[in-house]
Amino acid sequence: MFTKILIANRGEIACRVMKTAKRMGILTVAVYSEADRDARHAELADEAVFIGPAPSRESYLQADKIIAACLATGAQAVHPGYGFLSENADFARRVEEAGIVFIGPKHASIAAMGDKIASKKLAQAASVNTIPGWNEAIESPERAREIARDIGYPVMIKASAGGGGKGLRVAFNDLEAFDGFSSCRSEAKASFGDDRIFIEKFVESPRHIEIQVLADAHGHTVYLHERECSIQRRHQKVIEEAPSPFISEETRRAMGEQAVALAKAVNYQSAGTVEFVVGKDQSFYFLEMNTRLQVEHPVTECITGIDLVEMMIRVAAGEALPFTQAQIPRRGWAIECRINAEDPFRGFLPSTGRLVRYLPPPTTMEAAGPAPEGGGVRVDTGVYEGGEIPMFYDSMIAKLIVHGSDRADAIRQMREALNGFVIRGVSSNIPFQAALLAHPRFVAGDFNTGFIAEHYPQGFRAEDVPHDDPDFLVALAAAVHRSYRERAAGISGQLPGHGVQIGEDAVVVVRGEAGAHRHVPVHIESRGAMLVMVGERSYSLSREGTLTAIRASGLCNGKPFTAQVERHGLWLRVEHNGLRIEAMVLSPRAAELLRLMPFKAPADMSRFLLSPMPGLLVDIAVQPGQQVQAGERLAVIEAMKMENILTAARAGTVSELLAKKGESLAVDQPILSFE
């Protein structure tokens, strides 16, 4: 067994690998860029090596620097995590040639599966179901259109070296096939340096289901059941679960056996994932093989009790798998939510900056540790309170994983855990996750990869958040306000006859757009528990929890709850099950006077182009005095590996440039003005 390994990655996956290594008694070496000098993964490791500037192409993608760090520290093996160099066959080969063990498959296996055209031919040879399509590189958009007609619309146009949603288009007609081919080719050339494109049949109402495989160097290959990854936004997974609520035992076995056959065909040795697209009739077709650890590996660990990172390390050290296919259990149900630094109410634009508050829910499970009998909550993260979410890397803050006795129990636990996940300083997608988990079709397991596009065609809005009892948030605001007032009334030294008075009748003013606030009369009684009447409904809130903490918890009508409550001046921000309100609790007279207050409209910013997110201004495409038309490109902002092109909303003349190329922008910072 190794005594020291280097993790060629950052963030949560680097921290995750370190947990297993530490449990196994293996020393760890971290690598870090300029942006990650104070990162959690660099702190957790036994040693840390600086490898260059913030952009990943100058640091985490520099194979020479990583190999040099291994040699300098005496690391005998390197774990690549996921992303960066994890599926780079040339890097794996160079690591092996330097006398270092690559904790992953052999470079030949990575190369065979990394080329989508070659991997599909290998799958066909191994008798794995493949989607009808054209598996040779297509030379022109005209030829792409002809092939698409022969296969039959709809078709999927894909870059051979594509991944992460890049180099992928779905075409339903000749025009979309022609344009999609051109877009895919240019995108693939820019992102991967490989512009080869192929076309295959698009499976309608598809589900994305993947099989986890493990193989050693002694001829043993097994599958660890499946993961359901169909809840996706723009080809990026949002929620993953294991097992799938859709497939039958027969389909599960057939998919697992085909995944094993494919792994054996390429002499696979390590953890890997074979992805399938599954039709509504449970027909399934090979999509691709990921020759690395997956982001969503924790859900498989929960239901099997097998530490996948440990297995990768042991296989790389030459050990045989310690179990057979028949010995792999499947216990309970696990769900993972990716908690990302993005604003769901602003088109999911990246949100970078400092984590002013970071308080994950209480955990009962740990990576690299056994799952408790009754299930529980696990958080895999690479951040900490006060740390930065840099603009140079992906937007993941943490992975929230729950394990329940069945799917309904897992959903319940996840909703409660999301309620208790406190993130301030950057926006997060927690409200969106909460809405998805409450959607009736998700709860019923009736969804496919088009679920989010179908149900949120205009993007995600505040009114899209379902809540079975919105008045609970009003009652909680009233109870919290009453707690503050009682504390104020108990302060000694108050002037006799002028102390804080507490009335039982109040009005909860819920903030609305343009000053159109909603006034909700409430009656509050405080006798042991806090009794709040909202209309005809009563809410008995116990004082046993922590009502006035940012993570408020307790009992409401005898049932436990977790919510978030925060003061902003006179306003309280209350969040529960994804719904957020801002409320002010006033006496009836004060609420009456508030109605008479004039509304002050915000300044008109329509003549400015504002940055919709924090990021780097990589290009300004116009000059002062230039006339632009609606839809014309104005500027490009880059953040978290995404380029966002800003266009003119209407025709006009550019007056002044207010930001410079290369400048770091804040949200709503003016970039230019119009006359």
Confidence of residue 639 (pLDDT cuts 50, 70, 90): confident
User: For the residues 526-537, what does the mean pLDDT come to?
Assistant: 91
Mean pLDDT computed over 131-138: 83
**Alpha carbon 647 to its chain's center:** 27
Per-residue pLDDT, 436: 96
DSSP notation for 604-671: --TTEEEPSSSEEEEEE---TT-EE-TT-EEEEEEETTEEEEEE-SS-EEEEEE-S-TT-EE-TT-EE
pLDDT band at 534 (very low <50, low <70, confident <90, very high): very high
Please state the rounded mean pLDDT for residues 630-649. Answer: 86
Active site residue 288: yes
| pLDDT band with cut points at 50, 70 and 90 for residue 296 | very high
User: Across residues 464-489, what is the average pLDDT?
Assistant: 93
pTM of the model: 0.87
What local confidence, expressed as pLDDT, does residue 280 receive? Answer: 87
pLDDT digits (tens, 9 = 90+) for 84-121: 999 999 999 999 999 999 999 999 999 999 887 789 88
Instruction: Give mean pLDDT, residues 598-617.
Output: 89
pLDDT at 165: 67
Tens digit of each residue's pLDDT (9 = 90 or more) over 40-90: 999 999 999 999 999 999 999 999 999 999 999 999 999 999 999 999 999
The pLDDT tens digits of the residues spanning 552-596 come to 999 999 999 999 999 999 999 999 999 999 999 999 999 999 999
Query: What pLDDT does 163 receive?
Result: 67
> Does 636 have pLDDT greater than 70?
yes
SS3 430: helix
Instruction: Report how far residue 196's alpha carbon sits from residue 193's, in angstroms, rounded to the nearest whole number.
Output: 9
Using CA atoms, how far residue 507 sits from 518, 531, 613, 626, in Å, is 10, 15, 36, 53
Domains of the chain: 4-103 (3.40.50.20), 132-201 (3.30.1490.20), 207-464 (3.30.470.20), 471-488+503-594 (3.30.700.30), 608-674 (2.40.50.100)
Catalytic residue from among 87, 200, 240, 288: 288
Cβ–Cβ under 8 Å, residues 160 and 166: no
pLDDT at 237: 94
pLDDT > 90: percent of the chain: 76
Task: Give the Cα separation of 460 and 433 in Å (integer).
Answer: 11
* Cβ–Cβ < 8 Å for 333, 413: no
**pLDDT for 117:** 79
Mean pLDDT value across residues 618-628: 93
pLDDT number for residue 641: 66
Give me the sign of the Cα torsion angle 259, 260, 266, 270.
Answer: positive
pLDDT, mean over the chain: 93
Residue 615 pLDDT grade (very low, low, confident, very high; cuts 50, 70, 90): confident
Integer angstrom CA distances of residue 437 from 413, 418, 490: 11, 10, 42
Q: pLDDT tens for residues 578-589?
A: 999 999 999 999
Q: Which residue has the tokens 């160079």?
A: 94
Partners of 289 in beta bridges: 274
| 170-222 per-position pLDDT tens digit | 999 999 999 999 889 888 887 778 889 989 888 878 999 999 999 999 999 99
Average pLDDT over residues 364-368: 89
Q: What is the DSSP annotation of 65-131?
A: HHHHHHHHHT-SEEE--SSTTTT-HHHHHHHHHTT-EESSS-HHHHHHHHSHHHHHHHHHHTT--B-
- Tell whether the model's pLDDT for residue 164 goes beyond 80: no
**C-alpha–C-alpha distance, residues 74 and 530, integer Å:** 62
Q: How confident is the model at residue 251 (pLDDT cuts 50, 70, 90)?
A: very high
Is residue 670 exposed (0-12), middle (13-18) or buried (19+ Cβ within 10 Å)? Answer: middle
d(CA 31, CA 48): 5
